[in-house]
Amino acid sequence: MPSLWAEVISPKIKTLLGKKMDNDIYDKQNQQLHPQDILKNQAEKWQISLTSEQFARKLDETDPLQHTRNEFYVPKIGTLPHGEFIDAADKPHTDPDKDCIYFCGHSLGLQPKRVRKSIDSWLKDWAELGVRGHVHGTNPFAKCDYPCIPALKTLLGAKDNEVAVAEQHE
């Protein structure tokens, strides 16, 4: 079975993460710069105010990972529970079809679009193979922990045959 890393992380992202970004994070004395200094330098280079909307939009335009946004579902303002996040005064001016601004860092996160396809393959095997899905099909159920083993053995400093993933019941 291919590793989870190979299946989930697109080659484009791996390539981008492996390269040094345009903004050099070291100054001339090879001292590491604070992120705020990097942003200030970039604002000066573009001759745009650091606190302007124009600067924020320019950062978005030049973000080498901007294409990854299209790999996730972003909730629409209109699909959120009624009024939960919108002030009454803002409701008439809010477009329900616009993407919400998602700042939930500790949460489940945005749903990757590839998740449905992956889950559907498991459900298809279950529907078509029944109990035989434990050992046959695209993703044999009894071997569902196998993709995790390479990462776990590295983390634990163990051998393949020394690592297993199990569910714990209290």
Query: What confidence tens digit (pLDDT) does each residue in 41-85 have?
Result: 899 999 999 999 999 999 999 998 988 989 999 988 888 776 565
How distant is the alpha carbon of residue 142 from its chain centre? 27
Q: What is the pTM of this model?
A: 0.57
64 vs 169, higher pLDDT: 64
Strand partners, 26: 32
11, pLDDT greater than 90: no
Residue 57 has a CB neighbour count (10 Å cut-off) of: 11
For the chain, strand residue ranges (E) read: 72-73, 111-112
Q: Measuring CA to CA, how many Å separate 83 from each of 7, 78, 79, 86, 91? A: 38, 9, 10, 5, 8
Tokens of 167: 């569910």
The pLDDT value given to residue 49: 93
6, pLDDT greater than 90: no
The pLDDT value given to residue 10: 44
Residues near 79 by beta carbon (within 8 Å), at least 6 away in sequence: 96
For 63-88, letters b (16+ CB in 10 Å) and e give eeeeeeeeeeeeeebeeeeeeeeeee
Alpha carbons 60 and 53: distance in angstroms, whole number: 11
Alpha carbons 79 and 14: distance in angstroms, whole number: 33
Amino acid at 27: D
Radius of gyration of the chain (CA): 23
Range in 22-31, 34-43, 88-97, 139-148 the model is least confident about: 22-31
